[in-house]
């Protein structure tokens, strides 16, 4: 606070102190901001106190403190903007060194303290500041929704005490839309693309340079869905059983549509030299989480369409499997040795195979004579590998002689191709 001292009196923002007497102070309990007025023509400037209040209950208050002792009179006056004079507001006589007035309307207040011949006068403005705000979801569809906020800031005005002319305070109000702690936008209206699949709260916040703040919360009720799924396994040997796990968000159960595509090689082959569009869809399924068995080898794509149906909209979302489901071609493999000696270890000639419909394995001795034949005409099962014990090392019920034998494996794969494999196998008789 700045003082200008004169010989006969001291003036401090409207405060008059007679020489040799105590100094008075005017404060505003609960105020959040203060600054000096800028009167266009009045030669003295006063303190202006800002209170964050609401439209129904003024929260402004002023308190004067003086060092004058003994019994004294506090006389409060309020500036009347209609008549440009100060009218009586409140008075009290007290030995206390303080006096306070509360729940004040906007305006300029002056207090005169009298104690004997001593007189002190102080003056200040108070403003109850608030910003009325509304917010809503003004539009919502499958592609976006729109947040719309409106603010009606209270106008803050004081008067030049010489001319009674209005002087308006600049509030510099700022707005922001927030989702949790994250700021979405700093404008009144914002369009949110890619709406969330869960009901989400958004807050419209309004603040000004004085630190006064208000907010309005609105809830976006989601009408959209986001499709997604996982596969297990993503590759393997035919017949390959694949489980599709639906991880779509906010979709309606029973409304999921799955599109299973034909193998990539099959589509390419049919497309060659064909001027007409090729139907790449093998079949469509309606299930939440289907299980499908791929019988033939190839590379396959799958698409899921998720739906969310509300009163006015039927929103959909599509998810394509990023990678192909790879179903390997048929294959046969046999060991290089076995030892049918009854020790429980490697006693049988075990052949592994997969992706086969039929298979026949013939065993020959060194002179080319067939000594054993094993075959299956209807291979079933859904393992990554299928294995069978095709020979126990006996010929006609007797143990075969140790030595080298030759095998030939023939079969028809699930891809429709004939498969062939051959090789040598060593039969050992002695025990370790």
Helix (H, G, I), strand (E, B) or coil at 270: helix
d(Cα 414, Cα 9) in Å, to the nearest integer? Answer: 112
Q: What is the pLDDT of residue 330?
A: 67
Q: What is the pLDDT of residue 431?
A: 62
Helix (H, G, I), strand (E, B) or coil at 265: helix
d(Cα 301, Cα 291) in Å, to the nearest integer? Answer: 15
**302 touches 325 (CB < 8 A):** yes
- What is the secondary structure of 135-180 as a DSSP string? EEEEEE-SSEEEEEEEEEEPP-EEE-TTT--EEEPP---EEEEEET
pLDDT above 70 coverage of the chain, percent: 92
Q: What is the pLDDT of residues 283-311, one digit of tens each?
A: 999 999 999 999 888 899 999 999 999 99
- Of residues 387 and 320, more confidence is placed in 320
d(Cα 70, Cα 269) in Å, to the nearest integer? Answer: 110
Between 178-182, 249-253, 315-319, 386-390, the lowest mean confidence (pLDDT) is in: 386-390
When the pLDDT of each residue in the chain is averaged and rounded to a whole number, the result is: 90
Q: What is the pLDDT of residue 72?
A: 96
d(Cα 161, Cα 46) in Å, to the nearest integer? Answer: 10
Q: What is the pLDDT of residue 275?
A: 80
pLDDT at 371 over 80: yes
- The C-alpha torsion from 417 through 242 and 280 to 271, rounded to 10°, is -30
What distances in angstroms separate CA 287 from CA 49, 248, 258, 265, 321, one per listed residue? 67, 13, 7, 27, 17
pLDDT above 90 coverage of the chain, percent: 75
User: What number is the average pLDDT over the span 407-421?
Assistant: 85
Between 244-258, 286-300, 393-407, 408-422, the lowest mean confidence (pLDDT) is in: 408-422
- The C-alpha torsion from 63 through 68 and 74 to 77, rounded to 10°, is -70
**283 touches 318 (CB < 8 A):** no
User: What number is the average pLDDT over the span 315-338?
Assistant: 89
d(Cα 425, Cα 432) in Å, to the nearest integer? Answer: 19
Q: What is the CA radius of gyration of the chain?
A: 46
User: What number is the average pLDDT over the span 382-411?
Assistant: 87
**409 touches 386 (CB < 8 A):** no
What domains sit in the chain, N to C, each tagged with a CATH number?
Answer: 4-129 (2.60.40.10), 131-220 (2.60.40.10), 229-328 (2.60.40), 331-427 (2.60.40.2550)
| Length of the chain as a residue count | 432
My answer on whether omega of the bond before 111 falls inside 30° of 0, hence cis, is: no
Q: What is the pLDDT of residue 8?
A: 29
Helix (H, G, I), strand (E, B) or coil at 76: strand
């Amino acid at each position: 606070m700045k003082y200008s001292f004169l010989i006969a009196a001291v003036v401090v923002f409207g405060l008059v102190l007679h020489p040799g007497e105590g100094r008075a102070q005017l404060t505003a309990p609960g105020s959040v901001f203060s600054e000096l007025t800028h009167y266009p023509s009045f030669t003295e400037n006063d303190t202006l106190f800002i209170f964050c209040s609401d439209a129904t209950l003024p929260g402004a208050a002023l308190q004067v403190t003086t060092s004058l002792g003994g019994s004294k009179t506090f006389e409060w006056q309020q500036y009347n903007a209609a008549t440009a004079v100060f009218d009586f507001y409140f008075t009290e006589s007290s030995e206390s060194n303080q006096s306070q007035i509360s729940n004040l309307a906007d305006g300029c207040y002056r207090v005169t303290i009298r104690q004997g011949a001593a007189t002190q006068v102080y003056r200040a403005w108070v403003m109850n500041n608030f910003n009325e705000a509304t917010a809503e979801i003004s539009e919502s569809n499958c592609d976006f929704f729109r947040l719309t906020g409106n603010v009606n800031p209270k106008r803050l005005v004081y008067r030049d005490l010489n001319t009674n002319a209005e002087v308006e305070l600049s509030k510099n109000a700022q707005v922001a839309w927030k989702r949790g702690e994250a700021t979405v936008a700093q404008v009144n209206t914002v369009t949110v693309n890619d709406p969330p699949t869960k009901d989400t709260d958004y807050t419209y916040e309004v603040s000004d340079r004085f630190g006064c703040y208000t907010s309005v919360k609105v809830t976006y009720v989601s009408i959209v869905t986001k499709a997604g799924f996982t596969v297990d396994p993503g590759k393997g040997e035919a017949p390959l059983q694949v489980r599709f796990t639906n991880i779509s968000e906010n979709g309606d159960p029973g409304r999921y549509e799955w599109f299973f595509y034909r193998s990539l090689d099959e589509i390419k082959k049919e497309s060659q030299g064909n001027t007409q569009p090729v139907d790449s869809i093998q079949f469509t399924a309606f299930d939440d989480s289907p299980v499908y068995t791929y019988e033939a080898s190839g590379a396959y794509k799958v698409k899921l369409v998720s739906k969310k149906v509300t009163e006015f909209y039927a929103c959909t979302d599509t998810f394509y499997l990023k990678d192909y489901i790879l179903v390997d071609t048929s294959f046969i493999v046999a060991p290089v040795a076995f030892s049918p000696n009854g020790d429980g270890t490697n006693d049988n000639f075990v052949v592994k195979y997969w992706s086969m419909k039929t298979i026949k394995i013939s065993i020959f001795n060194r002179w080319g004579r067939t000594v054993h034949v094993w075959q299956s005409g209807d291979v079933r099962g859904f393992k990554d590998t299928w294995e069978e014990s095709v020979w126990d090392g006996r010929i006609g019920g007797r143990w075969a002689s140790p030595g080298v034998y030759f095998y030939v494996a023939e079969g028809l794969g699930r891809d429709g191709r004939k498969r062939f494999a051959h090789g040598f196998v060593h039969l050992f008789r002695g025990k370790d």
